[in-house]
Structure 1
Amino acid sequence: MSWLPAPVEELFGAEATVEEAYDLLTVDVPAAEWIAALKTARTTLECTYFDWLSAVDEPESGFRVCAHVAAVAPGSVRRLLLRTTVPHTAPVLASAVEVYAGAAWHERETHEMFGVDFTDHPGLDPLLLPDGFEGHPLRKDFVLAARVAKAWPGAKEPGESEHGGPKRRQMLPPGVPDPNEWGPLKGQLPPAPARPARGARAA
């Protein structure tokens, strides 16, 4: 199909399927053929540019792992999306790092967010989530903790949350006169807090 030099079954194996839309060629392969498919993309199809790798949680089938690569030549770009699926019960897939070194961080993120275990990866250390975080937040079955049960630290402004915290100090913007000293309400309002001296720091 399209720019493939041979039938998809000949390039990626008998179980491979292909489709094309919006100048993007998508090839699906079994998980056992994942590394072989990546090698074919890099060597045979000259897709030496690695763009990204991630996953999608498909509740009825498993985790669909996707890798977007491209063959870049003067005046042309051929884009290829390789996909495979691993089951929810055993989300294990061979690491793509040996073929595309740039996949290392992407696999760390996918492991963190979906729980997919990439075998032979040099180190699936946490990348984005805080220490001690439990679960994989991009799974469809991940339950978000209610703010009632766990305090939400992102109040709009300091002091605007029922969980407490200091309020932001009120002050007049530079160049704005005190309305109690000038204007129709002069002498009728309590004085506004004075602006701190230039260069002064809060204790």
Structure 2
Amino acid sequence: MSAYDGLPESVTEVFGEESTAERAYDLLTVDVPPASWITALTTARDALGCTYFDWLSAVDEPGTGIRVCAHVVALGGGGAEEGGSPRRLLVRTTVPHAAPVLPTAVEVYAGAGWHERETHEMFGVDFTGHPHLVPLLLPENFEGHPLRKDFVLAARVAKAWPGAKEPGESHDGGPKRRQMLPPGVPDPNEWGPLKGQLPP
């Protein structure tokens, strides 16, 4: 029996004391503390045979932090010559919003380079030791991290919500109901080109 087959029960033996794991469908998910991030990825590659790096990204979870996830695969679970099916592993860690910092995984999985650049741009996670952590998708003068929950959707402030009238409004100039702002749109009196110029 391989180390992969003993998971999630033996997760603390394979990934360390503070790690947890669960299996859902054909995906094994292992959560590790940020200090064990590189060790966990190295263990996945060397001890579990997850030599294929699929992707790395993040999720902003308000009140918890930014959860960074790396999906790696052991191709041909029991060995390609044995015709085994791929074994999928999701390694996750959570970094605080105030200091989203992780060491780069480029030395473990070379393919993580571009994924870390994108995650740095979109979520603001700083991957220390990354050889070229520069913008990948956004213009160089772009401010903020657009996939974080606290990012203001400026396009919705600059461009009015579609439709001249709200549903139920009359064309005769009757009383108007209070206009609702769609999710993610700040009050135009608090942010944007008309800040402080509109009646409350």
Q: Normalized against structure 2, the TM-score is what?
A: 0.72
Please state which structure has a larger fraction of its residues in helix.
2
Judge conservation of contact 1:28–1:82 (CA < 8 Å) in 2: yes
> Residue 72 of structure 1 corresponds to which residue in structure 2?
75
- Secondary structure at the aligned position of 1:27 is classed as strand
* Equivalent residue pairs, number: 151
Q: Check the 8 A contact 2:124/2:145 in 1, yes or no.
A: yes
Q: Aligned ranges for residues 1-203 of structure 1 at < 5 Å?
A: 3-4=5-6, 7-73=10-76, 74=80, 75=83, 76-147=85-156, 149=158
Question: Matched residues in 1 for 2:49 and 2:6: separation?
Answer: 11
- Closer, same or farther: CA 16–131 of 1 in aligned 2, 3 Å: same
**In angstroms, what is the RMSD of aligned CA positions?**
1.8
Q: Percent identity?
A: 75
- Is the CA contact (8 Å cut-off) linking 2:4 and 2:48 kept in structure 1? no
How many Å separate the matches in 2 of 1:46 and 1:104? 20
List gaps (5 residues or longer) in structure 2: 161-200
Summarize deviations over 1:129-160 as a string: whole Å, max 9, x none: 12311100000000011455379xxxxxxxxx
TM-superposition CA deviations, 1:79-119 (whole Å, max 9, x none) = 00000000001000011101000000000000000000000
Runs of 4+ in 1 over 2 A off after TM superposition: 146-151
Bigger relative CO (Cα 8 Å, ≥ 6 apart):
2
1:3: how far off?
A: 1.5
Q: Unmatched 5+ residue regions in structure 1?
A: 152-203
Shift of 1:7: 1.0
Find the structure with the greater CA-based Rg.
Answer: 1
> SS at 1:35's partner residue?
helix
